A and B are shown apart, each in its own frame.
Chain A
């Protein structure tokens, strides 16, 4: 059970003066059950790569397989394979169209062929997932909600389709810290419960360090680094710098503490890990 990308290249506006190669012979495999963060400088091809995962873009060369099925082929099988990949776009609130929150979230499940009963169940679960109370929001017009609430509706619309692979393209851009945390916590919960794969595109190294097990760094349409989050932040710092990516604040803080003579181990990337190390180094407990 995996998404497998093989030698994929993609060029925008081919054969015009605006031609631009966004992906250059990228190969990678993402297994079900993985939590992958995709980082990289703006314009490095992250969104382009994501759109290959569910067949929104067809590669110029190479192939994309979901659970072994070529998703760019024709036919029902490929369509259902594409349906297993859920995609939350950058600024997903701009795709909302229905008269009520309920109708908008139910759009995906209905298209996927869920019965009305199942759809309702999915909508309820998805609204709970994003922290919107069903009774008070389901019948409201989505256009009278705040930006952050609209974002939640849009994310719920994708989660309600019960995807096996959930792609989130910068889901936290423009959200307040508490909504951001609650959404990420719910994602982690569903991720553990249903053993789906989560692919998170983000510009926040802290989010990547906190939630992802695996880190994928894109640079100029190629994969610059692919490895365990701890490993990458520990041993590839020069590489990260050269492609315009930083390390999490925690890592920098650990550097400062180390300079001050505290014995902090090298693979600390999360705040909780750092706290544990400080306590240990100081012999407080």
Chain B
């Protein structure tokens, strides 16, 4: 069913990672991603990978669940791997017909695909351990300093909150409408492309109508409760840092320091 999609879903829990401040997690994930892209030595990759494993262990998420988040992009990961594998220059270690694999190509392929895997996994740890509402709160807080340069921080966050809030609702709605039309004998799986596109109409029309109706109702409900944008708005849950955030920040910073040292420090 449609509702089984895991990407960007929240996995409730009470672990240290779950309870970190969203700003710490967002910035931490960003720094981690930069670190992964800076990583050059094999040691750096080992460090980055172990760091991820440590985070997953602390978060109490099932490892397989996090690993599954690479599923939507595995084709790209595989492609990255094979392109680097077969186009590298240098010492040839294996040939078959016109294909040849070089030591350098192999190393580069592993590096590149490992980067993607780590990137996807850390992002999914972020979304698995942070509820969408808290996540947007964090983004809003982080964007606030840029308000002076005309970034509409509150409006962006509100739009994201609403979009995130309605994704599951729309998926459910789609599911419901599909079932209702199936019960009326609709067939979505057979016929040529044009026929299939036509067969989608009984789903798309009610779906759009309901989406517009919901948008309309939401707008009315917000106005009825005097919503006037972000000016002077206070919040029920103020974000605040705790000592765990300091510890987490220090951990990411050390990872970054190690990787940066291995890249530049060793040469000096």
Residues on A facing B (Cβ under 8 Å): 13, 17, 51, 54, 56, 83, 86-87, 89, 92, 94-98, 107-108, 111-112, 143, 157-158, 161
Instruction: State whether B187 touches A111 (Cβ < 8 A).
Output: yes
B123 to A: closest C-beta gap in Å: 19
B62 nearest in chain A by CB position? A15
B169 at the A interface (CB under 8 A): no
* Residues of B close to A83: CB separation below 8 A: 185
Given contacts A13-B3, A94-B210, A95-B206, contact A108 B179 (CB under 8 A): no
Chain B CB within 10 A, most for which of A83, A97, A157: A97
Is residue B11 within 8 Å, beta carbon to beta carbon, of the partner chain? yes
User: A92 and B180 in contact (CB under 8 A), knowing A97-B202, A97-B206, A143-B209?
Assistant: yes
Interface size bracket, B side = 20 to 34
Whether the pair A89, B185 counts as a contact (CB closer than 8 A) is no
In the complex, are the beta carbons of B205 and A97 less than 8 A apart? yes
27 residue pairs bridging A and B, Cβ less than 8 Å apart: A13-B4, A17-B11, A56-B179, A56-B182, A56-B183, A83-B185, A86-B183, A87-B180, A89-B176, A94-B180, A94-B206, A94-B209, A94-B210, A95-B184, A95-B206, A97-B181, A97-B201, A97-B203, A97-B204, A107-B185, A107-B186, A107-B202, A108-B184, A111-B185, A158-B184, A161-B184, A161-B185
Give CA–CA (A54, B186) in the complex, Å: 13
- Bound complex: CA of A161 vs CA of B203, how far in Å? 19
What's the count of A-B pairs with C-beta under 8 Å? 56
Q: How far is the CB of B245 from chain A (nearest CB, A)?
A: 25
Residues of chain B at the chain A interface (Cβ within 8 Å): 3-4, 11-12, 176-177, 179-187, 201-206, 209-210
- A51 B179 Cβ-Cβ under 8 A: yes
Residues of B within 8 A of A112 (CB): 185
Most buried by A among B177, B182, B183, B187: B183
Residues of A within 8 A of B11 (CB): 17
Q: From residue B46, how far is it (CB to closest CB) to chain A in Å?
A: 32
Contacting residues, chain A, for B185 (C-beta < 8 A): 83, 107-108, 111-112, 161
